Amino acid sequence: MGKNVIVVGGGIVGLCSAYYLLKEGHQVTVIDKSDITAGASFVNAGYITPSHIIPLAAPGMIVKGMKWMFSPTSPFYMKPRWDVDFFKWAWYFHKSSTPAKVAKAIPVIKDINLMSHRLYTDILQSGDLGDFQWERKGLLMLYQTDAEEQHEMPVAEKAKALALEVDFLDQDQLRTIEPDVAIKAKAAIHYKCDGHTTPTEVMPRLKQYLTDAGVDLRTNEAVLDFTINQGTVKEVITSKGTYACDEVVIATGSWSEGLAKKLNIKLPIQAGKGYRIDVARPTGISMPAILMEAKVAVTPMNGFTRFAGTMEFSGINDTIRAARVTAIAKAVAEFYPDIKITAREMAAAKSGLRPVSPDGLPYIGKSKKYTNLTFATGHAMMGWSLGPATGKLVAQLISDKIPVLDLTPFSPDRKF
């Protein structure tokens, strides 16, 4: 028998949760404080990345963050500020950044990414969203220095050991695979296991499909509180009304920590801001790539090329820092000397907030505190990649099925 499920949050994770809950026969309402036309689910690099096996909370990242703290153009930027929640998160991040914990996370990240990779293919083949871009050309890791080569090679070897497809390309091979654009790079690692999409194409189609299929999509409506009775969430209270529910899914990205507090649950999350510049003119780029020294992602999307990057911890805000946009444009020119991003293209840059957990793993699963509350958040840079897998796992949980993956590593109740 289907349940009455409230999904709070209309990003890729929330909509994928609604998609699979609908497939399981549940009555679904999605509530989002925005009109679901902007944010991280629209401005991301569109990658589906089994190759991204190393969590953000890796050894040395806190040291890098401290080093870069006073450089507003650095790839990993933490704005100096007095914020108790941020201090706690940073301490948990530091505790998670050990070789042993990273090694334990690697197969977990790989498995859920491969699951999502298969599900994107299934969604395309189902015809539910029509014919959308889903290309499996892989991902180039372009580097210019010996230091970055030495940094990425162990990752590539780990990926190969996990049976992921990896190639090593010299400059001649790079020109063969990407012939229509000049690239200034020493060499590249080609993760052939990866794929990419156009988020601004997928999100509207997913919204439309859900609406047409009977999901109640409530936009521009903020969730304010919850009615609790004997360990069960009975109602979701919003700025426009009150909704009774059998189950609740919290998929509100960077805002999840605040909602969790209303339920007396500690869910450490920090907003990691990313930026994107879209170039609608021809660039000659046909392969997705990461410019390693600058940590800038490059994606050939339907109708434009997207350049995205930076991880900025400055709290929840939508401020566009011009210096960070300029840094992306500068990196593009350094790697693609024939491509110059214009002032107008930079002025149209957008940002989005990615929810980052302290250990780099998302929160997926039920809280022990409530019988009918499920979290689906904290995906950091992999929200787009892991949207379908997360939605499928959420639907299996709520349908009282055994999830196809062990959710223990993703528990919202885990200790740091």
What pLDDT was estimated at residue 345? 98
pLDDT band at residue 65 using 50, 70 and 90 as cut-offs: low
pLDDT band at residue 69 using 50, 70 and 90 as cut-offs: low
Mean pLDDT of 56-65: 69
Alpha-carbon torsion 65, 69, 72, 73, what sign? negative
If you ran DSSP here, which 8-state letter would residue 309 be given? E
What are the extents of the domains in the chain? 4-410
The pTM assigned to this predicted structure is: 0.96
Lowest-pLDDT range of 82-91, 129-138, 394-403? 82-91
What pLDDT was estimated at residue 194? 97
Rounded to whole angstroms, the Cα distance separating 289 from 287 reads: 6
Strands 296-301 and 166-169: unpaired
What pLDDT was estimated at residue 82? 84
What pLDDT was estimated at residue 94? 87
**H or E, element range at 7:** strand 4-8
What pLDDT was estimated at residue 67? 64
What pLDDT was estimated at residue 64? 65
Mean pLDDT of 93-108: 91
pLDDT band at residue 395 using 50, 70 and 90 as cut-offs: very high
Mean pLDDT of 367-375: 96
pLDDT band at residue 54 using 50, 70 and 90 as cut-offs: confident
Rounded to whole angstroms, the Cα distance separating 299 from 139 reads: 9
What pLDDT was estimated at residue 171? 96
At 337-358, the pLDDT tens digits run 999 999 999 999 999 999 999 9
CB 278 within 8 A of CB 348: yes
What pLDDT was estimated at residue 77? 74
Mean pLDDT of 278-307: 97
**Which of 122 and 61 is assigned the larger pLDDT?**
122
Q: What angle do CA 26, 31, 36 make, to 5 degrees?
A: 115
The pLDDT mean for the chain works out to: 94
Strands 373-377 and 363-366: antiparallel
**Does residue 380 carry a pLDDT above 70?**
yes
What pLDDT was estimated at residue 79? 76
pLDDT band at residue 311 using 50, 70 and 90 as cut-offs: confident
Mean pLDDT of 363-378: 97
**Does residue 102 carry a pLDDT above 80?**
yes
User: How far apart, in Å, are the Cα atoms of 213 and each of 19, 166, 232, 246, 323?
Assistant: 9, 40, 28, 20, 44
Mean pLDDT of 223-231: 96
**Does residue 59 carry a pLDDT above 80?**
no
Q: Does domain 4-410 have CATH number 3.30.930.10?
A: no
At 255-281, the pLDDT tens digits run 999 999 999 999 999 999 999 999 999
What pLDDT was estimated at residue 68? 62
Residue 29 bridge partners (DSSP): 6, 216
**Does residue 167 carry a pLDDT above 80?**
yes
3-state secondary structure of 414: coil
**Does residue 66 carry a pLDDT above 70?**
no
Q: 130: burial class by Cβ within 10 Å (0-12, 13-18, 19+)?
A: exposed
Mean pLDDT of 68-88: 77
3-state secondary structure of 258: helix
**Does residue 252 carry a pLDDT above 70?**
yes
Chain centroid to Cα 17, Å, comes to: 15
**Does residue 282 carry a pLDDT above 80?**
yes
Alpha-carbon torsion 311, 317, 322, 323, what sign? negative
What pLDDT was estimated at residue 230? 93
State percent of the chain over pLDDT 70: 97
**Does residue 8 carry a pLDDT above 90?**
yes
What pLDDT was estimated at residue 76? 75
Amino acid at 331: A
Lowest-pLDDT range of 18-32, 87-101, 134-148, 208-222? 87-101
CB atoms within 10 A of CB 151: 15
HSE at residue 15, side-chain half, CA atoms within 13 A, is 26
**Does residue 74 carry a pLDDT above 80?**
no
What pLDDT was estimated at residue 313? 86
